Structure formats: C-alpha cells, structure tokens
Amino acid sequence: MQKLRVRYAKRGRLRFTSHRDVARAFERALRRAGVPMAYSQGFSPHPKISWIGAAPTGVASEAEYVEVQLVAAVDPSALARALDEALPPGLDVLDVVAAGPGSLADRVDAAEWLVEMPGVSSDTLRAAVDRLLAEEHVMVSRRTKDGTREIDVRPAVIRAEVADPADGRPAVGIDMPAGDGPCGILRMVVRQTTPAVRPDDVLSALRVVAALDQPVPAKATRLAQGRLDDVGALSDPLAPDRAASAG
C-alpha cells in the first residue's frame, strides 16, 4: 500500500464550494484518473482519503492538503498530472509526494492568510491592525448551528501587517479587485486553535477594536499552512517527505 500527499489550490469561483463538494469532486477525479485507491472494509467501503484542515466555504487557498492511500505504487508526478486534468478548473493540483514517516497533521499548527479589503485604505487598515495587536484579548461572536459562540481572537493572531498593493499578490491565482478605489491588504499568520479562528473572525475583531467598516465584502486566501518556527514563519509540511524520497 502506498500513501501520497497532495497539495492543491482552491481558486476563483471554486472558493464558494463547500468542503463536502470538494471531497466529492476529488473522489470522482481519482476514479476518472484510474488511480488504484485503497478502500475501507465493511458493508459500505469508502476510499481512504484524509483531509488536513480544509479551508472554510467562501475562502480561496493556495495550500490545501489531502492524503490518499493506494493499493499499488504509482509515480507521484504522473498522478499529479492525471488528477489535475480530471479536476474542474479552480481545483488545481500543485504538488504530490510519497508520504514519509510521521503524521502530516502534526506538521501543521498555523496558516498564513492574505485578505483583500476593497474600499478600505491602507492607512485605515494599518491603524486598526495596530489596535488589535495592542490588545491581549478580543472577544467576537460567531453564529453556529448551535447558536452564538464567543471566541477570543487575539491569542491566535501571531503576526499581522498591512501589505503594499503593489506587492500584495504573492501567489498564483489571486486576482486583485477591479476599480480605482482603495484596497487594504492584510497579511497575517494565525495559529490553529480550538475553536479555529478564521479570517472573518479577525475582521470581526478589527470592527470591535477600531470600528473598521467594510463597504465591500473582503476576500481571504490561505497562502500557506505549516508549523511555526521561532520567528513566526511557517515550514513546508511536505519538505520531510521530499527529503525522505531523496534519501
């Protein structure tokens, strides 16, 4: 049995696709690509697929991860090409590696985000971010299916800064909004917590501390996932697998 780890992007209109629909699209694409999937035992077998920290509906991402188990070894590069061709445009395979020792989930404890905020000037956004970072705790309300939940956003925000619009597009697939108006660009590293703090929770925190008004809905893109180092940077979670394959 072989285990492969896949990094893929969720771009464009596909960011509005729910995780359940993304999972279904992957299962169909794996079948169309002829991938020799391993299945669970029992009355209703399911393909052995494990998702790592899927992005919320409405959020784009350049760093989504999934593990697939196979019953026969395949070339990761060939699988990457076949799977990418079988998936709809907007779900784009970026990398496939053979899994080495260790758990992929244990290599991810934070994410880097880019949030585009049309109608908000960089100066206004920077002042709001400074106020957020000056606080120790910022409580926001989130609606859930079980009612309203209070979440402390501030401890999860490791780093936050306002990027210049000229260099605010570091990843393929990120389209800046059209128009000549201001557009604040927030880049931040957020630690995974329980409950998870999402980009919209951080925007709610900016409203709480600075009454930041957003005339146009913001667009969030996850740029990376990984483990935090001592300076708040994220490691590549697939790097140990590449090293094991090279060795």
Task: Tell me the whole-structure pTM to 2 decimals.
Answer: 0.90
- For the chain, residues classed under CATH 3.30.70.580 are 2-102
Instruction: Return the CATH fold of 2-102.
Output: Alpha-Beta Plaits (3.30.70)
Tell me what pLDDT residue 189 has.
Answer: 96
- Kindly give the pairing relationship between strand 219-226 and strand 60-70: parallel
Instruction: Please choose, from the candidates 70, 1, 15, 29, the residue with its C-alpha nearest in 3D space to the C-alpha of residue 222.
Output: 15
Q: Determine the straight-line distance between the first and last CA of the chain, rounded to whole angstroms.
A: 20
Report the topology of domain 108-226: Alpha-Beta Plaits (3.30.70)
What phi and psi, each to the nearest 5 degrees, are found at residue 217? Answer: -55, 140
Question: 203: which 2 tokens?
Answer: 């925007």
Q: Give the residue from 8, 7, 143, 168 showing the smallest Cα distance to 88.
A: 8
pLDDT band at 245 (very low <50, low <70, confident <90, very high): confident
Pick 153 or 42 by higher pLDDT: 153
Q: In this prediction, what percent of the chain has a pLDDT beyond 70?
A: 94
Element at 224 (helix H, strand E): strand 219-226
Cβ–Cβ contacts within 10 Å for residue 172, how many?
10
Q: Are 114 and 170 in contact (CB under 8 A)?
A: yes
